[in-house]
A and B are shown apart, each in its own frame.
Chain A
Amino acid sequence: MQRRRRVTTLLLPLVLLLAGCWDRREIDERSNVLATGADLCEKGQGCNLIVTRQIAIPGRIPLGGATGAPAKGESVVAFSTPGKNGPDTARKAQAELNRTVSFAHTRFIAFSEAFARQGLREYLDYVRRVPEVRRLMWITITEGKASDVLRSKPSLELVPALYVNDMIDDAVKAGRLPDIYLGEFLTRISNKGEDTVAPIIRMIGLDHPALAGLAVFRDFKMVGKLTPDEMFTQMQLRGHRKGAESFEVALPGGNSANIRVYERTARYRLSQNQGRLTCRIQVRLETEVLQLSPELSGEDPKVLADIERRGAEEVVKRANALMKKLQQEYQADILGVGEHVRGTMPKYWKTVSEDWSKAFAKTQFQVEAEVHIRRTGLGTE
């Protein structure tokens, strides 16, 4: 008995050796890529693309809010790697780094406009297959080089990738940008009756990335751009609920009113006649007055009714201009009309699903708008 106990006591610590974890890896033992950007290679350089990765320097990123003094020096380093395709550049980047590259904390992925116009199918296939990549990260198109955005150092935020991330996050929450994260982007691309958009980032100076409208895609290729105003029209037509835009309504006598949209809804009514599709979109905007010309009174119901009527006309005018651009220039159904057709007119859909872009271009659109002014702000008269 005594002997057995002694043997057991001796053997027991060996159990500790059994404990193990193949996948234990501390967060600062990895090269965390915070953002990725892809540019086309210039001719004669012997590569297809250059991928720039913004990598966090361990210990330099403040964790858990703004407590404590920020560490001195840069918090990130940007590496540019030329290569044949995404995985190729990742391999090369890995060879140049001391720790295993991880994409688990990547906040956004940026493609230069030139790259996006060549098509993203191949690169996104890679992105979709890597299990670490989160579908919630943002996808953006940069007007110039993607590497310029990744190398910029916005002064308002310690970590550059977080500046862009927060900028998009906040704009989406406030209703200034459609909520298109990577997963949603892929979903819309996959949908047969829908094309996708992605936010455009423009550099102001060297260190100041800013949002500048939307990139329009047809299938996996970027085909055009929308200005911020057109983007808001698109959001009105899609009925993105939370609104943020304001616009000016011209009134008779040289007067004008500025109104701000805070809620949007849109209803789709589809019908077809001898193979020709008609789509009625009823947009409804809840607004408040931001500014009135001095001659006008916000308490006068006639004035408000006039602003509502002319505001609606303005909305329809902008919508028609956008639809014309989408149908004739881009042939890109970024409203997802085709999805409504697929859902509600399955028989008709079978006849157009193979080439929806063409059918979309031929669809007749009737946009109707209702503008309601609910508040006039704190000032009176």
Chain B
Amino acid sequence: MGNQSGEEHGSITPYQLTAIAVGSIIGVGVLAFPRLLVEQAGTAAPLAALLGAIPPALSWVAWVKVGRKFPQQTPAEYVTKLIWPPLAWVYALLGMIFVLIITGLTVREFGAVVKTSVLPNTPIEVSISLLLLAAAYFVRYDLQVFARVYEVFLPLMLAPLTLIGLLSLKNARLVYLMPVITDWLGLLKGIAMASVGYIAFVIGPFLLPSLTRPKEAVKSGLWGIGLSLFVYMLAVTASLAVFGPEELKHVIWPTFELVKTTTVPGFILERLESAFLGIWVAAVFTTVGGTYYALVVTIAQFFKLGDHKTLVLPLIPIIYMIAMGPASIHSLYRVVTFFGLIGVGLVQGTGFLFLLLSVIRKKGAQPGATKA
């Protein structure tokens, strides 16, 4: 039960792992996701979204396999065993900087949406700071508290999102979803874009040693990716079917616009956008919390610091500065796309790399031994 120093040996149930996956994956990105995909893949966007879940899913399987070889350790701890230590240092530092940057960018994207669509008079600095402070407060807790927050949020997030998604299909037109494939290059770019949507699940591999039932790690992680895929698919398909491939490119946050054009006559809330925004803020919060947590835990474990909590506060100004970095909303999206694509390599590719290294260099416990 207690938090052993240095290692986060809480106990995370399979359901909690699924919830953490969904909570950290679904976040700010949901709003722009359909546009980013349609810009690349056209009407093939739903297919791209579907196939885009394959790299993160395979990568998760690889991570779990590597994790089985080091059942008591997280990637930050076994990276030096797999890679020549000086190189491992560089690798780990790059990873930390990357997670730091995506945390900052997530916060900024949140600020941009709030400033543009909801609270035009509230300074963006204020909404960004509040989100950061809330996330910092949350990240200071132990792993068990962390996991329980996601556990509570999962149904609160999924149920309304599904409902809103289905309701918005009222104005859908089937012909907008055709042809399923336009051009192959565009589809490939779309798939790459779609797998960017899953990089926020960096926390995943760090939770492996803390699972109550390690054997179900693959299954519950894939459930998390699958449920996130469901949300993404719903957002992309509904937005495309309502706006069509051309108009969708003119709408900066199609998912939000979709919700705004959906009305439910006779429902208590005829306009769904306030309900949607509430859920969305929670979703952003869990995403930022996830990457923030991954960041502090990585640093604490890699440098063998006793406790991750002390790192939380000093990082706030750094994340804040990164968030305030991009000059405009368009430079923000350029930066997000750039780092997103790097992230696919860094977060998902590393899983395969580590698996390969552990097999070649015969590091960690051998498969036969793990069953004991």
Kindly list chain B residues whose C-beta atoms are within 8 Å of the C-beta of A346. Answer: 179, 182
- B306 lies within 8 A of chain A by Cβ: no
Asked if residues A131 and B116 are in contact (CB atoms below 8 Å), the reply is yes
Query: What's the nearest-Cβ distance from chain B to residue A27, in Å?
Result: 15
Asked if residues A187 and B247 are in contact (CB atoms below 8 Å), the reply is yes
Asked if residues A23 and B260 are in contact (CB atoms below 8 Å), the reply is no
- A344 lies within 8 A of chain B by Cβ: yes
Kindly list chain A residues whose C-beta atoms are within 8 Å of the C-beta of B263. Answer: 136
Query: What's the nearest-Cβ distance from chain B to residue A280, in Å?
Result: 16
Binds A, one of B170-178, B296-304, B314-322, B333-341: B170-178
Query: What's the nearest-Cβ distance from chain A to residue B161, in Å?
Result: 20
Asked if residues B182 and A134 are in contact (CB atoms below 8 Å), the reply is no
1/0 per residue A188-220: CB within 8 Å of B? 011110000000000000000000000000000
Chain B: CB-nearest residue to A192: B246
1/0 per residue B154-175: CB within 8 Å of A? 0000000000000000010101
- B243 lies within 8 A of chain A by Cβ: yes
Interface residues on B, range: 20 to 34
1/0 per residue A123-160: CB within 8 Å of B? 00000100100111000000000000000000000000
Asked if residues A344 and B179 are in contact (CB atoms below 8 Å), the reply is yes
Asked if residues B122 and A186 are in contact (CB atoms below 8 Å), the reply is no
Kindly list chain A residues whose C-beta atoms are within 8 Å of the C-beta of B118. Answer: 23
Chain B: CB-nearest residue to A341: B175
What separation, in Å, do the CA atoms of A178 and B117 have in the docked complex?
29
Kindly list chain B residues whose C-beta atoms are within 8 Å of the C-beta of A191. Answer: 244, 246-247
Number of residues from A at the complex interface, CB < 8 A: 24
Query: What's the nearest-Cβ distance from chain A to residue B225, in Å?
Result: 30
What separation, in Å, do the CA atoms of A357 and B249 have in the docked complex?
22
Chain B: CB-nearest residue to A179: B171
What separation, in Å, do the CA atoms of A136 and B170 have in the docked complex?
13
Kindly name the residue among B246, B249, B257 whose own CB sees the greatest number of chain A CB atoms within 10 A: B246
8 A Cβ contacts from A314-351 to B? 336, 339-340, 342-344, 346
What separation, in Å, do the CA atoms of A248 and B178 have in the docked complex?
39
What separation, in Å, do the CA atoms of A181 and B263 have in the docked complex?
13
Chain A: CB-nearest residue to B126: A22
Asked if residues B257 and A343 are in contact (CB atoms below 8 Å), the reply is no
Chain A: CB-nearest residue to B257: A135
Query: What's the nearest-Cβ distance from chain B to residue A184, in Å?
Result: 7
- A62 lies within 8 A of chain B by Cβ: no
- B85 lies within 8 A of chain A by Cβ: no
What separation, in Å, do the CA atoms of A126 and B261 have in the docked complex?
19
- A228 lies within 8 A of chain B by Cβ: no
- B121 lies within 8 A of chain A by Cβ: yes
Asked if residues B117 and A135 are in contact (CB atoms below 8 Å), the reply is no
- B119 lies within 8 A of chain A by Cβ: yes
- A119 lies within 8 A of chain B by Cβ: no
- A298 lies within 8 A of chain B by Cβ: no
Asked if residues B261 and A190 are in contact (CB atoms below 8 Å), the reply is no
What separation, in Å, do the CA atoms of A189 and B244 have in the docked complex?
11
- B250 lies within 8 A of chain A by Cβ: yes
- Interface SS of B by simple majority: helix
Query: What's the nearest-Cβ distance from chain B to residue A333, in Å?
Result: 13
Asked if residues B246 and A22 are in contact (CB atoms below 8 Å), the reply is no
Asked if residues A184 and B171 are in contact (CB atoms below 8 Å), the reply is yes
- B325 lies within 8 A of chain A by Cβ: no
- A183 lies within 8 A of chain B by Cβ: yes
Q: Take A22-B123, A135-B257, A187-B247 as given contacts and tell me if A339 and B182 are in contact as well, using a CB distance cutoff of 8 Å.
A: no
Asked if residues A344 and B178 are in contact (CB atoms below 8 Å), the reply is yes
Kindly name the residue among B122, B126, B177, B243 whose own CB sees the greatest number of chain A CB atoms within 10 A: B243
Kindly list chain A residues whose C-beta atoms are within 8 Å of the C-beta of B182. Answer: 346
Query: What's the nearest-Cβ distance from chain A to residue B293, in Å?
Result: 27
1/0 per residue B242-270: CB within 8 Å of A? 11101101100000010011010000000
What separation, in Å, do the CA atoms of A181 and B257 have in the docked complex?
14
Query: What's the nearest-Cβ distance from chain B to residue A126, in Å?
Result: 13
Q: Take A23-B121, A23-B122, A134-B260 as given contacts and tell me if A190 and B175 are in contact as well, using a CB distance cutoff of 8 Å.
A: no
Kindly list chain B residues whose C-beta atoms are within 8 Å of the C-beta of A21. Answer: 122
Asked if residues A187 and B179 are in contact (CB atoms below 8 Å), the reply is no
Asked if residues B120 and A131 are in contact (CB atoms below 8 Å), the reply is yes
Query: What's the nearest-Cβ distance from chain B to residue A189, in Å?
Result: 8
Query: What's the nearest-Cβ distance from chain B to residue A192, in Å?
Result: 6
Kindly list chain A residues whose C-beta atoms are within 8 Å of the C-beta of B173. Answer: 339
Chain B: CB-nearest residue to A186: B247
Kindly list chain A residues whose C-beta atoms are within 8 Å of the C-beta of B257. Answer: 135, 183
What separation, in Å, do the CA atoms of A344 and B243 have in the docked complex?
18
Asked if residues B122 and A135 are in contact (CB atoms below 8 Å), the reply is no
Asked if residues A22 and B121 are in contact (CB atoms below 8 Å), the reply is yes
What separation, in Å, do the CA atoms of A155 and B123 have in the docked complex?
45
Asked if residues A343 and B179 are in contact (CB atoms below 8 Å), the reply is yes
Asked if residues A190 and B123 are in contact (CB atoms below 8 Å), the reply is no
Kindly list chain B residues whose C-beta atoms are within 8 Å of the C-beta of A189. Answer: 247
Asked if residues A22 and B260 are in contact (CB atoms below 8 Å), the reply is no
Chain A: CB-nearest residue to B246: A190
Asked if residues B121 and A190 are in contact (CB atoms below 8 Å), the reply is no
Q: Take A131-B117, A184-B171, A344-B178 as given contacts and tell me if A136 and B122 are in contact as well, using a CB distance cutoff of 8 Å.
A: no
Asked if residues B244 and A22 are in contact (CB atoms below 8 Å), the reply is no
What separation, in Å, do the CA atoms of A201 and B261 have in the docked complex?
24
Asked if residues A22 and B117 are in contact (CB atoms below 8 Å), the reply is no
Asked if residues A339 and B176 are in contact (CB atoms below 8 Å), the reply is yes
Query: What's the nearest-Cβ distance from chain A to residue B84, in Å?
Result: 51
What separation, in Å, do the CA atoms of A23 and B43 have in the docked complex?
38
What separation, in Å, do the CA atoms of A190 and B247 have in the docked complex?
5
Chain A: CB-nearest residue to B119: A23
What separation, in Å, do the CA atoms of A147 and B257 have in the docked complex?
30
Please list the residues of chain A having a beta carbon within 8 angstroms of any beta carbon in chain B: 21-23, 128, 131, 134-136, 181, 183-184, 186-187, 189-192, 336, 339-340, 342-344, 346
Q: List 17 A-B contacts (CB under 8 A).
A: A22-B119, A22-B121, A22-B126, A23-B121, A131-B116, A135-B257, A135-B261, A136-B261, A184-B171, A187-B244, A187-B246, A190-B244, A191-B246, A336-B175, A339-B173, A343-B43, A343-B178
Known: A134-B261, A136-B260, A346-B179. 18 other contacts (CB 8 A): A22-B119, A22-B121, A22-B126, A23-B118, A131-B116, A135-B257, A136-B263, A183-B243, A187-B242, A187-B243, A187-B244, A190-B250, A191-B247, A336-B175, A339-B173, A339-B244, A342-B178, A344-B179
Please list the residues of chain B having a beta carbon within 8 angstroms of any beta carbon in chain A: 43, 116-123, 126, 171, 173, 175-179, 182, 242-244, 246-247, 249-250, 257, 260-261, 263
* In the complex, the 6 A-B pairs of residues with the closest C-beta atoms, listed nearest first: A343-B178, A190-B246, A190-B247, A187-B247, A22-B122, A22-B121
